């Protein structure tokens, strides 16, 4: 069942002015419930505009957006509010939006807005703080006392605490060091496994997307270039590179091996899979599988 569906979704900025710009151009898309989608594309390809339409922040110029089969712009105002709770959006650099006196209050802000009782709010705050690796003693600290990575995780927990069915994150690792980045990505993966919702992760990094996503959506000039499994997307690595996007380093290595006559029965896009593939290949060649 598609949790999100778009039909001819189009968004134009500054309509009727010399600055008119079609940012999202007739996008038809179906995102299945439970998918982990990696959304990738150049700066200006329409990623932010697309995701802001997913939770009703931007109203399409034309076309429809359906959540669970329901056109969100045909809903009453009160129900539209529910859409924002069901499709949670973590903006870029979300830590700039922390404003409460304590981490606890910041994470509790969303659930409180939903009108939940204190006990349920408390459960959610503690559970999501744990999910993003924040120690309980940090909950009573002021957010400004935390490190950059911790603040980012507080902001992510604040959206997770609304328990959205679709969690969208716009470049959640931007500006973090490699450790902070891996930490957030691993936590997202664990959250996805245990929570079972849908995640849409906007990223500049093909490596990250290849490691975590079950589907990859490549945007180019406001249109969907492709939306498929990593395996199928990276089969088109030449075309993707022609768009000026990278493919994972390991895919490039395997493409180079293939151009030298080696044959592999599937597309390689993670290092772990590459290792398995090479060992299998060596065994088939009659070796003992050691390199
Ligand atoms: P991405 O997130 O992939 O970088 P955006 O959705 O931000 O892409 O932008 C898509 C296009 O829309 C770009 O050409 C951008 O310049 C334009 N755009 C984005 N926001 C605005 C705005 N507020 N006003 C006018 N044009 C905009």
Place domain 2-230 in its CATH homologous superfamily.
P-loop containing nucleotide triphosphate hydrolases (3.40.50.300)
Which residue is it, tokens 């995640």? Answer: 199
pTM: 0.92
**Nearest atom within ligand 1 for CA of residue 24:** 10
Of 158 and 248, more confident: 158
Q: Is the CB of 46 under 6 A from ligand 1?
A: yes
Residue from 23, 59, 168 to probe ligand 1 pocket by mutation (most atoms less than 8 Å from CB):
23
CB atoms within 10 A of CB 84: 18
How many angstroms separate the alpha carbon of residue 105 from the centre of ligand 1? 33
Q: Is the CB of 51 under 6 A from ligand 1?
A: no
Integer CA distances (angstroms), 41 to 171, 188, 189, 257, in order: 12, 21, 21, 27
| Torsion on CA atoms 170, 211, 24, 76, rounded to nearest 10 | -60
C-beta separation of 88 from 167 below 8 A: yes
CB atoms within 10 A of CB 119: 8
Helices (H) and strands (E) in the chain, counts: 11, 10
> What pLDDT does 287 receive?
58
> What pLDDT does 251 receive?
84
Q: Whose CA is nearest to atom 12 of ligand 1?
A: 23
pLDDT cut 90: percent of the chain above it: 69
- Does the pLDDT at position 288 exceed 60? no
3-state SS assignment for residue 21: strand
> What pLDDT does 281 receive?
79
Mean pLDDT of the chain: 92
**Nearest atom within ligand 1 for CA of residue 202:** 2
**Nearest atom within ligand 1 for CA of residue 48:** 2
Q: Is the CB of 43 under 6 A from ligand 1?
A: yes
Q: What share of the chain is helix, strand, coil (3-state, %, to 5)?
A: 45, 20, 35
C-beta separation of 168 from 88 below 8 A: yes
Half-sphere exposure of 183 (CA within 13 A, CB side): 17
Q: How does pLDDT run across 50-81, given as a tens digit for each residue? A: 999 999 999 999 999 999 999 999 999 888 98
Residue from 9, 21, 41 to probe ligand 1 pocket by mutation (most atoms less than 8 Å from CB):
21
Q: How does pLDDT run across 86-135, given as a tens digit for each residue? A: 999 999 999 998 989 999 999 999 999 999 999 999 999 999 999 999 99
Query: Taking residues 174-188, what's their average pLDDT?
Result: 91
Q: Is the CB of 237 under 6 A from ligand 1?
A: no
> What pLDDT does 285 receive?
73
CB atoms within 10 A of CB 163: 19
Q: How does pLDDT run across 83-97, given as a tens digit for each residue? A: 999 999 999 999 998
> What pLDDT does 207 receive?
86
C-beta separation of 11 from 71 below 8 A: no
Q: Is the CB of 159 under 6 A from ligand 1?
A: no
Q: Is the CB of 14 under 6 A from ligand 1?
A: yes
Q: Is the CB of 105 under 6 A from ligand 1?
A: no
Of 291 and 4, more confident: 4
Query: Which DSSP category does 64 fall into?
Result: E
How many angstroms separate the alpha carbon of residue 36 from the centre of ligand 1? 24
- Does the pLDDT at position 14 exceed 90? yes
Q: Hey, where are the domains in the chain?
A: 2-230
- Does the pLDDT at position 289 exceed 50? no
C-beta separation of 130 from 190 below 8 A: no
**Nearest atom within ligand 1 for CA of residue 52:** 6
């Amino acid at each position: 069942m598609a949790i999100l569906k778009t039909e001819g979704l189009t968004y134009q900025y500054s309509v009727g002015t010399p600055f008119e710009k079609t940012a999202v151009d007739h996008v038809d898309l179906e995102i299945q419930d439970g998918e982990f989608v990696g959304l990738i594309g150049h700066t200006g390809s329409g990623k932010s505009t697309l995701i802001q339409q997913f939770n009703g922040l931007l109203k399409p110029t034309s076309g429809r957006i359906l959540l669970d089969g329901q056109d969100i712009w045909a809903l009453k105002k009160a129900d539209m509010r529910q859409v924002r709770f069901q499709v949670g959006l973590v903006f870029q650099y979300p830590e700039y939006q922390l404003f409460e006196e304590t981490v606890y209050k910041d994470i509790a802000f969303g659930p409180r807005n939903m009108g939940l009782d204190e006990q349920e709010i408390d459960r959610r705050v503690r559970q999501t703080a744990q999910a993003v690796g924040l120690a309980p003693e940090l909950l009573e600290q002021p957010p400004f006392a935390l490190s950059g990575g911790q603040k980012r995780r507080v902001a992510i927990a604040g959206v997770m605490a609304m328990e959205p069915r679709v969690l969208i994150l716009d470049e959640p690792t931007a500006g973090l060091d490699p450790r902070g980045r891996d930490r957030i990505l691993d936590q997202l993966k664990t959250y996805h496994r245990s929570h079972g919702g849908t995640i849409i992760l906007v990223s500049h990094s093909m490596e990250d997307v290849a490691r975590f996503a079950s589907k990859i959506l490549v945007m180019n000039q406001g249109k969907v270039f492709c939306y498929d499994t990593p395996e199928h997307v990276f089969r088109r690595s030449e075309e993707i590179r022609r768009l000026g996007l990278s493919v994972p380093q390991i895919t490039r290595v395997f493409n180079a091996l293939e151009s030298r006559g080696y044959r592999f029965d599937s597309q390689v896009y993670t290092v772990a899979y590459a290792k398995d593939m090479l060992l299998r290949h060596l065994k088939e060649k009659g070796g003992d599988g050691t390199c």
